[in-house]
Amino acid sequence: MPLNSDVPYRWQRFPHLNRSREVCVFVSYAPNGMMPEHSQVHARAWHDAGFSVVIVLNSDTFADEMRLDGLEFASGILVRENRGYDFGAWASALHEMPRIRSASLVALANDSMYGPLDTFEPMLDRARATEGDVIGAIESWEFGRHFQSFLLFFKARALNSPAFWRFWSSVRAGGRITAVYRYELNLMPTLERAGLRCKALFKSGDRRNPTLTRWRALIDEGLPYLKVALLRDNPFKVDIAGWEDVLHKHNYDPALAKRHLSRTSGSYVP
């Protein structure tokens, strides 16, 4: 399995991060050399919430020129060959930004969700107020206790922990199974063993993926997201009737999701 550092990448815009700023490292799959519309809306919401946004574009056409239309809000843009999924992309960006240690809060996010809904700011306030070093949006028990990787927060103590940097330095550019079993499932226990406090904003109801089974309840509880794979695949065959009305009720345009779903071929699974 190749080292993550061997995966080609280049900066299209290098970020100059100020000390004590809140930073979001946002990973998006960019088919045909362009960040999808729903991903742009999502990433811009982090900027509007006061975060410096560093976008990592995983591209199947790395050698080609990327279209950066609509990304003027981003503090930094890293283009990367599409290998290693979100953990590989985050690892590449973190390796390139050692000054991120001085941030007051770092969010690692990806484009596997539609949103954010109008409960985004309250969720961010909960994350800021939570007494933990590592905060996951959702704690899941599917395949073992872990944080779902679509959104992770790290506070100053975690960002300055040797265990944090060892974990990201260990990332290899494997496939989806590697990303899930070696990194998503191991992040929480690895950092807990190092003495970091890990807390979750939302809990799982059972041992299935809650974003695919409890989507209505999670939105009612304040999760500002709906999972792409729920609408695209619905693996547990749950009732998704009325999802457009739910998004509209929470001030998110369901047409963004519909346009994305119409273009999704299934070749990439976030």
pLDDT digits (tens, 9 = 90+) for 29-52: 988 888 999 999 999 999 999 999
**If pLDDT is split at 50, 70 and 90, which confidence band does 64 have?**
confident
Which two three-digit tokens encode residue 196? Answer: 């970091």
pLDDT of residue 227: 96
Identify which has the larger pLDDT, 156 or 1: 156
Please, how many CA atoms are within 13 Å of residue 129, restricted to the half-sphere of its CB?
7
Measured between alpha carbons, how far is 187 from 149 in angstroms, rounded to an integer?
9
pLDDT digits (tens, 9 = 90+) for 193-238: 999 999 999 987 677 889 999 999 999 999 999 999 999 999 999 9
In order of their start, the domains of the chain are 4-263 (3.90.550)
Average pLDDT, the chain: 91
81 and 173 in contact (C-beta within 8 Å)?
Answer: no
Measured between alpha carbons, how far is 270 from 261 in angstroms, rounded to an integer?
13
| pLDDT cut 70: percent of the chain above it | 96
Please, how many CA atoms are within 13 Å of residue 245, restricted to the half-sphere of its CB?
4
Please compute Rg for the chain using Cα positions: 17
